[in-house]
Amino acid sequence: MKNSSAEISRRMLRPLLRRRAEPANDGVLQEAMAQFEERAIATSLLPHMADLQKAANQRRTPDRWKDPNAAVQKVELSLTLYRARKISLQEYVFHVAHVVEGVHEGRFVDSRYPSLQKLSDEMQMIEANHGLKPGEYWPKSDAPPCWQALSARWDSTCQMLLAQTFAELEGGLASDLFTHQRREFDRLRERGRRALFHKKELIPSLADTVKRYEIEARAAAGANAYTAAVTLIGAALEGLLLLRCLSSPKKSSQVAQLLPSKKRPKQVSVPSTWTFDNLIQVCLAAGWLPKIENQNMSVDPSGLADLLRRMRNNVHPGRVCTESPWVETELRDFEDAELIYATLFARVFRGHMFKQLRERLGEHVT
């Protein structure tokens, strides 16, 4: 009887989802091993390459920024860092662009581009014939058509020469992106620049992260991946609560200090270290969580706090299996999450704060 019950239970709990077993693929395995090997080799090379770069820096000359040999050495170090997974693709693209553009600019300053010099001379002749003095310029739209045509040729020639310099000094991923996917190159370059020079700009960086989570959540929902979508919206909501606390740091810290010890953040003056529940407790106590209403539902602030916690629980499989075993996340769950996100965004960030946040998120403000 016991064996019969076990067999019935086994049959009733057959997997509802199965991961399709992929046939063994030697090519995939070899590629994976090659990736691991590349990472290991790059990591082992880093100390030696760092020493070479340090020695080169000690021999620095005023015109080293335009030295192609120095540029190649920096590109090789950046590539090794990228292959060792020490820097991101965005950072790699920026590092390469920075040194390549330096060499390109140096060649222009040193009149190493006869084709550009010829076009510049022709443009200056037109400017002189129209009475412009040295250092005076037209707004581009006011220039004579012949000057505009030369200017367009100058721009295209300059870009062609820059592409050639990329190919000469790097000739790899960054060069290919610059030549064939310029918009993507520019996007990666700017993110790499910010990663290097704006590491401590917490609020703008957080606003960007929130926006990315929101965009990726909608993309996931569009692919019917509702668990991923709701999880990402939950993460975006956590970002919104953190933005709200960072926007009023003094009040946030005061409210956090007054919370019961079990709910109080460990570092009351550093909101970026607070847990999701800490953020909820502070925003709830500060009166920053709104009441959410539409035709089908009405949720008071404490109820909203509970909803936020449940949404974030999607990150924790143990809680999902304990609180909602066997239940799949579905479209209406995502729609509810979106409603909460949109309402929290609009109600928590009002007036000047709302306008400022929307500008940080790159949205048009009217």
Which residues fall within 8 angstroms of residue 190, CB to CB, at 6 or more apart? Answer: none
- Per the DSSP assignment, residues forming a β-bridge with 75 are none
CA 187 to the chain's CA centroid = 10
Token pair of 218, please? 């909608």
- Per the DSSP assignment, residues forming a β-bridge with 298 are 293
The CA distance from 160 to 78, in Å, is 24
Which residues fall within 8 angstroms of residue 132, CB to CB, at 6 or more apart? Answer: 138
Q: What is the pLDDT of residues 193-231, one digit of tens each?
A: 999 999 999 999 999 999 999 999 999 999 999 999 999
Q: What is the pLDDT of residues 113-141, one digit of tens each?
A: 999 999 999 999 999 999 998 888 888 78
Average pLDDT rounded to a whole number, residues 287-312: 77
- Per the DSSP assignment, residues forming a β-bridge with 293 are 298
The CA distance from 216 to 228, in Å, is 9
Among 13-17, 63-67, 149-153, 159-163, the minimum mean pLDDT is found in: 13-17
The CA distance from 245 to 263, in Å, is 16
The CA distance from 79 to 87, in Å, is 9
pLDDT over 80 at 23, yes or no:
no
Q: What is the pLDDT of residues 56-105, one digit of tens each?
A: 888 888 888 999 999 999 999 999 999 999 999 999 999 999 999 999 99
Residue 365: which pLDDT band, with cuts at 50, 70 and 90? very low
The CA distance from 153 to 139, in Å, is 17
Better-predicted residue by pLDDT, 111 or 350: 111
pLDDT over 70 at 358, yes or no:
no
Residue 366: which pLDDT band, with cuts at 50, 70 and 90? very low
Average pLDDT rounded to a whole number, residues 298-308: 77
Give the CA dihedral 189, 195, 196, 198, nearest 10 degrees: 120
Dihedral sign, CA of 90, 96, 98, 104?
Answer: negative
